[in-house]
Amino acid sequence: MKYFEKKFLEVYPPIFIISVIVGTIIDLVTKYIAILYLRPHNPIELLGDFFRLTLTFNTGFVMGLFQGFPRTSLALTAVAILVLIAYRWKNSDLGHPAGWALVMSGAFGNFIDKFFIKIIGIGAEFGFVENRYEGRFIGVVDFLDFDWPNWLLIDRWPAFNFADSCVSVGLVILILTMKIEEDKK
């Protein structure tokens, strides 16, 4: 018995692939703009203290795990992407394709971002060596900074990016659609 019973393009039709590419490009462009116009840990208030743009860099994996180990984070992200692709390929009927496309867009956006040194005010170049004194940072660019109710044990939600939003929204869509599908059985 073959592990993948369907052909790749049956599970990942061109419109799906294009939507993942578009989501990834939007993520990378917004991060690039943040590198050009924001300064690290120097918030710009847009809606008072509720919503700010605050440039930070996450060298960790999911929610900052393995912070300070960029190559480990890169490897774990690569494994997570391969698992996502294989799982979706094997279980193509589970979850809504839009949820899968959002999760994959976010995963690819953050994965690609990990390959570059961010040079504040200039852009980015391939590499893994930072020098904060020269404005050169590694890690995933995060810049969307929202206030969070104090009763949740943290003062502010950690800064995030478009890719993180795609993953979060995509997971909610997948959980809801998988639950609906399960309830129908």
The catalytic residue positions are: 142, 164
Question: What is the C-alpha separation between 30 and 109, in angstroms, rounded?
Answer: 11
What spatial distance separates the first Cα and last Cα of the chain, rounded to whole Å? 25
Give CA 158 to chain center in angstroms.
14
Question: What is the C-alpha separation between 50 and 147, in angstroms, rounded?
Answer: 5
37 closest CA partner among 146, 108, 118: 118
**Spatial contact of 123 and 36, defined as CB atoms under 8 Å apart:** yes
34 closest CA partner among 158, 125, 162: 162
The Cβ of residue 101 has, within 10 Å, a number of other Cβ atoms equal to 24
Task: Show the tokens assigned to 96.
Answer: 């809504």
